[in-house]
A and B are shown apart, each in its own frame.
Chain A
Amino acid sequence: MKIEEVIRTVNQMKADRIIANYAIGGAVGATFYLEPVSTLDVDIFIEVHAMAGSSIISLDPIFSYLREHGCKMEGEYIVISGWPVQFLPASGPLLEEALDNAVEVDVDGEPVRVLTAEYLAAIALQTGRAKDKARLLQFIEAHALDRTKFEELVKRHQLVDRWRDFQQQFLNEE
């Protein structure tokens, strides 16, 4: 199983106009800034628009394309090179902004778009599970965040109360 194959496949999807824009998020995205940690899937945020005359967003074109290229569905995941992948519509202001501000990184000659550390941290704060709080703490302890940019995101996306609670609980800050 190889993540680099996942990246090549997603880039090919973009070249074939199956997706317009994408960025890797979640634990794999965090790996670009932190130590590698165990994760079982790849979260890929995508720009998706509802079909004309409908409010429904369909990922069918993505799944059809990948099935034609030998990938198999497993529940809500599509398996690419052994990795379960979730394509997640970037819905909501924070995710849309995160996708727009994603950066391109070179991985052994293959470009890949990934969310920035500040957006990954803000999304973790917003999502709020125990593992998201652990990831946010990792970003802070590794000094991987631009705190000014992060705190601007916190203010802009109404996460101030959550951030204050997090600081009090884990950082002895206020």
Chain B
Amino acid sequence: MSFDWQKVSESKQAYRRKLCALPIAEKLRLLDAIRERAVAIRAANHRQGIQVQEQPPDYGKKS
């Protein structure tokens, strides 16, 4: 059995283009749903003692 990775890659890119092109209201509703899921996953990881660190942004730092 072999996969056509080219087709898989093209299919993923097509799906991402479709998501990009959604109306903004729809995208924001998706964000709401994605966040709810992420919060649930974090809560489950926390219960298992798994911690994810996020580096806070340093907006405005000089280059």
Contacts and interface: CB of A to CB of B under 8 A. Distances in A.
Interface of A: 1-4, 26, 28, 31-40, 43, 83, 88, 91-92, 94-95, 105, 107-108, 123, 126-127, 129-132, 142, 144, 157-159, 161-162
A31 B55 CA distance: 20
Contacts of A31: 24, 27-28, 31
Contact of A36 (B17, B30, B55, B61): B30
A83 B35 contact: yes
A160 B4 CA distance: 40
Interface of B: 16-17, 19-20, 22, 24-25, 27-28, 30-32, 34-39, 42, 54-55, 57-63
A39 B31 contact: yes
A126 B55 contact: no
Contacts of A4: 25, 28
Contacts of A94: 60
8 contacts: A1-B36, A4-B25, A35-B19, A35-B27, A36-B28, A127-B61, A132-B57, A161-B63
A57 to B, nearest CB: 12
A159 to B, nearest CB: 5
A88 B59 contact: yes
Given A1-B36, A3-B31, A36-B34, A92 B24 contact: no
B38 A107 contact: no
Given A32-B27, A126-B63, 10 more contacts: A3-B28, A3-B31, A31-B27, A31-B31, A33-B20, A36-B19, A38-B38, A39-B34, A127-B58, A159-B63
